[in-house]
Chain A
Amino acid sequence: MALTDVPAPEAMLARRAGWSAPSPLRIAALLAALFAVAPLLFIAALAVQPAAGASPELLRRYAADTVVLALGVGLLTTALGSAAAWLVVMHRFPGRGAFEWLLALPLAAPAYALAYAYSDLLDVAGPVQTALRDAGMGGEFLQVRSLPGAVFVLSAAFYPYVYLTARAAFVSQSVCALEAARTLGCGPWAAYRRVALPLARPALVAGAALALMETLADYGAVSYLGVQTLTTGVVRAFAAYGSPAGAARLSLALLAAAALLLVLERRGRRGQGYGASSARWRELPAVRLRGAAGWGATAFCTLLLTAALLLPCAWLAVKALSTTTDAGRLLRAGSLSLALAIGGCVLTTALAAVIAFGARGRPLPARLASLGYATPGAVMAIGLLGPAALIWRGTGAGAGAAVALGLLMYAYVARLAAAALEPIDAGLTRVTPSMERAARMLGESEGGALARVHAPLAKGAFWTAALLVFVDVLKELPATLILRPFNFDTLAVLAHGYAADERLAQAAWPALAIVLLAAGPVALLSRQIARSRPGFAR
């Protein structure tokens, strides 16, 4: 993810020219990266077999809905995320400081939780439509179980990706460029439109690409809202038609779309790097919004936060409190989710560290790993079924649960290694090439230099990476659904199961538990990202 990425182009260039002896660490990094993309090879192998559940007609229908959904979410997240970032970075208004990090908080709420809450809240029998009918107005347009409804729900869930990248771009823009624009006759608005926005455009594209990757990967929300995307198709081909080959075929289409997004995101990030290279770090000149304008800005941010987090969570809480739940089952699922999240975050961060340390200044392993991130969880799971079948055949059913658990971990690590790699890599740009050489000249081996210079300097970045992975594993649904051992319910699986049975009040309990467990780490992350500004020590 490019959320915490503050590249230093000069350091990267210099690194490339530096010490070049081959080392075991470099080889380990390449292997670790290959580990992340191996499942994709199985997908390709599976896809050429005869398949059910993936006829051209089905593929076209899935693809059409996916494209419309992606366009809608792309536009809405970009508009909401960039507007919020622009307000927060370049203006002063009541509550700005709190909103700066609060606006990223909706990352804690999985999209399917929002889907449950809104579809119930705005249901024909729900409180809103009932009230509208009582007032003599029709409310049919509020139907959330529709394509526009899915666009709204996913945009609310994923706008923080755009918000965070746009915020980083606005914050790191060169004050000099803005001031130069002012001396050349631009007013504040013209300077924004003609200088700040074009400079930030690559970052906006990168943020939107991240939001779209999540949109492609989402299964829980769209399947609940009855929208048939490629990802729901993958799961259905596998689960309903029992056709891994069909699932693989649909996966290939998804992978192509994801790869395109990845290219967009990388190009956007490169543009960001140029913007930062010429900057001088000074306090950005902020416009103080007075009176109505200031309260308008506050209202906008409040509304966004309410729609994306507060309202759906409050409604879920109301629903949850209207029933009692099987506390034992919830607790078991909670501890499973927690264990998986912690295990996943330790393993993933370790793997990302191997890649980051071993591939310092060499982009190939990181690029391979990022392919894993662009891969939707359902696709990753299908890719792992091939090796799973081989292992099951070899070991017999007794080892089944352990193997499934191992594969599930594999899926998490492969999918999230790139997300963890990003902040670690950014943290390592604090280590200049000559610092590493200085450690070598002072008698340290390569490994010693990593342990005594790189690791302590990138400590904060490791925490960021671990938190990101923790939250993502906690929310993960489709891969868990496909790969989990029998009777192995995480909070996400539990919520999905209840919701599929239309027991929404029961689904609210695990969904809220996820939000609560994720809220702490997300708040920590968000505050850390909000405080860091390139050019200053973190």
Chain B
Amino acid sequence: MSAALEAREVTRRYCAKAAVRSASLSLQPGEIACLLGPSGSGKSTLLRLLAGLEPVDEGEVWAGDRRLSGRGSLVAPEERDIGFVFQDYALFPHLTVEQNVAFGLRRLPAPERRARAMLQLERVRLADRAGAYPQALSGGEQQRVALARALAREPAAVLLDEPFSGLDMRLKAEVRDAALAALRAAGAAALIVTHDADDALLTADRLALMDGGRILQTGTPRELYLRPVSLAAAHLLGEADALPARVSAGVAETPFGRAPAPGVPDGAAVLMARPEAYRLGDGAEAEVASSRFAGGYVDLHLSAGGVMAHAHMFGAVAPAAGERVRVSLDPTFCAVFPA
């Protein structure tokens, strides 16, 4: 199957500094993918390269078997069949909600234009605000209008730049779910840029990690969380301890216990452990440095052999600070890298 949208080793430089370096990424039809990275990692630039809002300096952008960008060539953004949801939504203040959504449908006859716009508005549950002006809408509503507007042209792919960043926490979950439902209903491939790991994990079918202008790793959220290719990749997707370890015969030994390290050469190594990796019970002895109740889990700082670890423990009984406990590691939440 050919990709709905694909970047092949694209590079973009500003004043000799590369914002995106040789990044490759493909988006399959109907798939919802997330591009996760800290601010300044080049993810928004990559999105603009895909959209054709900026030319590539090297590499190519393809949609199916159509080349969109290459060195010295550029299909204009309006001819790409790609939707774009801007971080600030970029709604047109002089047009009503319905006129905003119908903006890109000028070639259709008026009744059909209206029907298409209203269908999109119903999908984001804003049909009743069709006559309102964007300024009268809440942030979450504006975001949904922006999405409906991008989807109204039924593009093969939709790009969303930090779509949930301007919203407060409680609104965010609701808007995110509504957006996902609308994207699934449209059946378009979607690429969502975000710096929020929780957003990315909850939203994506597939995830790409980006830092320093490079794509570090792509895969399912589960693969990326549990099997990062590097410590840097592990840190991007959530908290992770880097425990000093010694590997011998495919097993890594740390002050908090051992875990299998297939394929890692003997000697010094680093064991990446997610907070969920620690189990109370038998195993290595550790001291509880701090213990805080965090609702769904207990947040512990453990100390063993001069090394600190951060653990989330689940269960009714929580060890108190100063207590000595025995811990082991759950290999599912661990990965070992050569030092």
Contacts and interface: CB of A to CB of B under 8 A. Distances in A.
| Residue of B79, B93, B150 with most chain A CB atoms under a 10 A cut-off | B93
Contacts of B106: 443
Interface in A414-461: 430, 432, 434-435, 437-445, 448, 452-453, 456-457
B77 interface: yes
Contacts of B53: 18-19, 437, 440-441
B93 A439 contact: no
A14 to B, nearest CB: 10
A437 B153 contact: no
A6 to B, nearest CB: 16
Contact of B82 (A441, A453, A537): A441
A434 B94 CA distance: 15
B135 interface: yes
Contact of B55 (A21, A444, A457): A21
Contacts of A18: 53
Nearest to B102: A442
B225 interface: no
B149 A442 contact: yes
A18 B54 CA distance: 7
Nearest to B135: A537
B58 to A, nearest CB: 17
B87 A434 contact: yes
A20 B76 CA distance: 12
Contacts of A444: 78, 103-104
B83 interface: yes
Contact of B84 (A441, A445, A452): A441
A456 B78 contact: no
Interface residues of A, number: 24
Contacts of B146: 438
Interface in A9-28: 17-21
A21 B82 CA distance: 19
Interface in A190-215: none
Contacts of B84: 437-438, 441
A432 to B, nearest CB: 6
Contacts of A442: 78, 103-104, 149-150, 153
Given A442-B103, A453-B92, A21 B74 contact: yes
Interface string B78-113: 111011101110111110000000011010000000
Nearest to A452: B103
Given A440-B53, A441-B51, A442-B104, A457 B93 contact: yes
B86 A434 contact: yes
Nearest to B79: A443
Give 4 closest A-B pairs by Cβ, nearest first. A442-B104, A434-B90, A441-B84, A438-B90
27 contacts: A17-B14, A18-B53, A20-B55, A430-B93, A435-B90, A437-B51, A437-B53, A438-B90, A438-B149, A441-B51, A441-B53, A441-B78, A441-B83, A441-B104, A443-B106, A443-B153, A444-B78, A444-B103, A445-B78, A452-B103, A453-B92, A456-B94, A457-B92, A457-B93, A457-B94, A537-B93, A537-B135
Given A21-B55, A442-B104, A457-B92, 17 more contacts: A17-B14, A437-B90, A438-B84, A438-B92, A439-B92, A440-B77, A440-B78, A441-B53, A441-B77, A441-B104, A441-B150, A442-B150, A442-B153, A443-B106, A453-B94, A457-B93, A537-B93
